[in-house]
Amino acid sequence: MLDFPKWKVWTIFLVIAVGIVLAVPSLFPKSQVETWPSWAPKEQISLGLDLAGGSHLLLEADAVDAAKQRVAAMEDEVSTELRRDPRIEIGDVSTANSRLSFMVRDPTQLDAAVERIRTLTRPVALTGARDWDVAVVDQTRIVLTPTATGSANALKQAMTVARDVVRRRIDPSGTKEVTVINEGDNRILVQVPGVENPEALKKLIGQTARLEFKLVDLQANPQEVAAGHAPAGSQVLPMASGGGAIAVKRRVIVSGDQVTDARQSFDQDGRPVVTLKFNTAGAKRFARVTQENTGKPFAIILDDKVLSAPNINEPILGGSAQISGNFTVQSANDLAISLASGKLPVKLNVVEERSVGPDLGKDSIHKGAIASIVAVLAVIVFMLLTYGRFGVYATAALIVNAFLILGIMAMFNATLTLPGIAGFILTIGAAVDANVLINERIREELRRGRRVLDAIETGYHEARRAIFDANLTHVIAAMLMVYFGSGPVRGFAVVLLIGVVTSFFTAVFFTRMLVALWARRSRPRELHI
């Protein structure tokens, strides 16, 4: 028992000191913390939507845009398939009325074209239906019509992807306790705590972030482009700056799907830009196209608007590119987040918007603080009356435990929600459970006639295993809630998880250190516990 090396003592004190230093900023108002010296820690615990207020958004998929995107994707698949050897020439392509129709130029290839196109359709789960109907009209024209079952299944899959994209955009680090869940087949509920600018949030979420690099069509007639007409194989797109339009080739050089990383940075003139890195396939394609088109302009297109159309001065071989376009630091950062999180598979419209005030949160924090103080005082009185000196050690562990929880939450910028306050109070109440087990085990060993130091040593040793097993089950349950839960449930689980770990540390290691230091100094022959 007396063998407690100095390095352990210093390590425990160091952990506690760091925890207290990290916890202190959360005990002061944010306005006051911001005035502290730059070297002082300023990270505070974030408050959840129910405590600090925030934004509540209900997003709904744009069904028309979803159908349009689906037809466009099928058009690309059909074009790619029929260009394969033996090539089948097609013309007069139409995507009107959410259907894809085109004419096969050589009627003798019609059956072969139908056969190859049918391979592009897919069965829908176990329904027996396929996602597209393929029909022949007027002897030379093939019409692909999306089935209702296929459209519903495609929308369901798109909404699942969209939910994950939205979450990555507004909570890249995964610590803000945002709520992003699907509601019904075509809606997503978003709740973000502490957002002071809901318009910026809507802009960040609503951006489709469909990035494309395309060559500029130099053969296009400027007068016809101004009138909205482009040569075959090209399209007219507006400039994002509002300065007219430009004709670009329809064929995509590289798309946002091939971007592996996007970050805000600055160009050589100090202007905010977005730096991209492509995957292997994208880098090879980008290098080959820029080698073949050196001296020609290419367009950087975001959501069908041209951000810029710089010249290719030399082949770009490094697998990276830079987007410039009159950005601010904030807009460049938002675009980088959007590109890094992936494009939205379907356009989302805000159908409901509400701001949640912090009034309820203030009242909850006030009552939570009162409940915490009462709980701590009640536990302290109980421990002191029941275990005397060892109750003092348990009380010290309880206070240290509270600081460690706050410090760890601040360090990871975790969010405290209303259920999180409940978890905090619950953790305080349960924090002394381990010390109760240890103290009762020491009592039992004393009754068996062991000497004081042997009883203390045996009590800590034997109780530690039971404490570890009990806390392990709590950790498993909390981790499952963190993984599968969201919003308030996740907030409760985070506080519980941190509290279980810190209470184990303070009950088993911190109090044992205090007992060892006392026993080494006083060498007691009797112990009243």
What's the Cα-to-Cα distance from 38 to each of 33, 41, 43, 47, 386, rounded to whole Å? Answer: 10, 8, 12, 23, 46
User: Do residues 217 and 298 make contact, with C-beta atoms less than 8 angstroms apart?
Assistant: no
| pTM reported for the whole predicted model | 0.57
For residue 17, pLDDT over 90 is answered with yes
Cα–chain center distance at 402: 28
pLDDT at 404: 92
Residues 259-297: pLDDT tens digits?
788 888 887 777 888 888 888 888 888 888 888 888 888
- Residue 173: pLDDT above 90? no
Most confident of 16-25, 82-91, 192-201, 490-499: 16-25
Mean pLDDT of the chain: 82
| Position 1 pLDDT exceeds 60 | no
Edge-first strand order for the sheet with 132-137 is 90-94, 100-104, 141-146, 132-137
496 CB-contact burial (10 Å; exposed 0-12 / middle 13-18 / buried 19+):
buried
Q: Write out pLDDT tens, residues 469-504.
A: 888 888 898 888 888 776 677 778 888 889 888 988
Residue-wise pLDDT for 326-338, tens only, equals: 778 877 777 777 7
In whole angstroms, give the CA distance from residue 381 to residue 378.
5
Q: What single-letter DSSP state applies at residue 216?
A: B
Residue 358 binned pLDDT confidence (cut-offs 50, 70, 90): low
- CA-nearest of 487, 497, 482 to 409 is 497
Q: What is the pLDDT of residue 21?
A: 92
Spatial neighbors of 251 by CB under 8 A, at least 6 apart, are 214, 215, 233
What pLDDT shows up at residue 176?
64
Q: How many CA atoms lie within 13 A of 372 on its CB side?
A: 18
Instruction: Identify the structural domains of the chain with CATH numbers, from first to last.
Output: 6-49+358-522 (1.20.1640.10), 64-147 (3.30.70.990), 212-341 (3.30.1360.200)
Give per-residue pLDDT as tens, 205-259: 777 777 888 889 888 888 888 888 888 778 889 888 777 888 988 878 888 777 7
How many Cβ atoms from other residues are within 10 Å of residue 402's Cβ?
Answer: 22
